[in-house]
A and B are shown apart, each in its own frame.
Chain A
């Protein structure tokens, strides 16, 4: 019940494939350990690898053999609780596919700050791919390279803000002041 106090999900409660450290493909890590009324992961999976038996509040079960790592579940999960992990993305790095609904959206090859489940910053990673699909209703999937030893910890990133279109437009000025400013410009 610790997660009900802290909000942080214990990875030991999450089902992983056997010998996952050796895998060289993406597989889903479904960080959904509480019974809530929700089942999109089960009906969106084209391979029927994820199932929810009986009541809609039951937890999803996954058959890792059927999964092809398409990541549709990660784009559809309303709780943004599904991540796809490839422990051996290349010789040096693991990679994670995560939903990222924030601005600024990073671009490919951009360096980003890696953040773990506890909100701690754990160095930098590199964005490999951004996937936008209308089926995900504006939830981009971001693939990030992560040091191998951190792959089961990193669950969030922060893109370094670039100048330009983000932040607020602070009105706080009267109509006359704005006009005057326009004239001055």
Chain B
């Protein structure tokens, strides 16, 4: 542990690991920190095969992608600290870190914030009852530790996370009472939805959860139909005897540090919250401060990995101008892949959102 680094990366998920890997090709003295005990962020909980292209590790399971990324990072160049939280950023170049024992600071000219996202919650009666979990928590319990949250689950949200976590619960032998989605359409990929349907799991579109009941823990859930403005329609309630309610109702970018650092922040609905304005190299309004992954707007892990690479690459190029043609090649390659990933109807949201926070330099 030194106190001066060429690059400090906060967050060891897909974006942070990719940033570290890319940066380590051109420079050393890189610090990567993560709050959790294991690196890999949400990747290490993903037992399903990823979409994307060969370059984005498509058809590999998330758990294996995390291992590959970690393995290919040169530990002489990248120092990894786990169980360390970043608690403040002070201009121009200081990041405050804390672990269990102490509070200390590190200095660097380049910071990459790949701080990910946190789970949303929605209002319903008794939404704080034990047995109501965020989807990420369910994945952590079952896929990292082999513990299932219950025997019968009601999933709220038919986006990709809701559909995937339902599938993963089923793989653990847990019964899924149904997937509930307030909008008229299933938000996630239809291939995921098709799997659940043939596994005999109903998907209730135009429905929302109204209440959870139980003494100490969830014993029952009540859902009801909603109209186009998501108001509950009377006398359409359905009851389910479940011991677990899993919420997969979206994520919010974790941008507290970037906001505290003084980056220009904008609320963008398509990106699911307040995000820092950034240019195409992922650099925010503060020079030398980068953002990557879900912290720059909620997307899939494959986009996070590309954004991380972009930020890592640009940070290095600023430190030490390497071969110009290699630089142009690398960035145009990443730009091309990001554009391709975001083509099609599922990418529209990200494209529109990113337009609203673009910094032209």
- Direct contact between A and B judged by beta carbons closer than 8 A: yes
Q: Which residues from chain A sit less than 8 Å from chain B, CB to CB?
A: 1, 3-9, 31-40, 43-44, 55-58, 76-81, 101-103, 115-119, 137-139, 155-156, 166-168
| B197 and A6 form a contact (CB under 8 A) | yes
Query: How far does the alpha carbon of A138 sit from the alpha carbon of B58 in the complex, in Å?
Result: 15
The smallest beta-carbon distance between B14 and chain A, in angstroms, is 15
Task: Decide: B344 and A166 in contact? CB cutoff 8 A.
Answer: no
Evaluate contact between A7 and B58: CB separation under 8 angstroms. no
Query: Is B341 a contact partner of A37 (Cβ separation < 8 A)?
Result: yes
Chain B residues closer than 8 Å to A81, beta-carbon distance? 191, 194
**Which residues of B are in contact with A by a Cβ distance under 8 Å?**
48-54, 58-61, 64, 148, 151, 158, 170-171, 173, 184-186, 189-203, 205, 300, 302, 340-347
- Say what secondary structure dominates the interface of chain A: loop
> Nearest Cβ in chain A — how far from B269, in angstroms?
21
Chain B, residue nearest A81 (CB): B191
Question: In the assembly, what is the distance between CA of A32 and CA of B195, in Å?
Answer: 12
Q: Which 8 A-B pairs have the closest CB atoms?
A: A79-B191, A57-B344, A7-B193, A35-B344, A78-B49, A38-B51, A119-B200, A40-B59
Decide: B173 and A168 in contact? CB cutoff 8 A.
yes
Contact of B203 among A7, A34, A43, A77 (CB under 8 A): A7
Contact B345 A35 (CB under 8 A): yes
Known contacts A7-B186, A57-B343, A34 near B200 by CB under 8 Å:
no
24 interchain pairs (CB within 8 A)? A8-B194, A33-B190, A35-B343, A35-B344, A35-B346, A36-B344, A36-B346, A37-B340, A37-B343, A38-B53, A38-B58, A40-B54, A40-B59, A43-B53, A55-B343, A57-B343, A57-B346, A76-B59, A78-B51, A80-B195, A115-B198, A117-B198, A137-B59, A155-B198
For B52, list chain A residues within 8 Å (CB): 37-39, 56
Q: Give the shortest distance, in Å, between A121 (CB) and chain B (any CB).
A: 8
CB neighbours (8 Å) of A56 from chain B are: 52-53, 340-341, 343
With A3-B190, A57-B340, A102-B170 as contacts: A37 and B51 at CB distance below 8 Å = yes
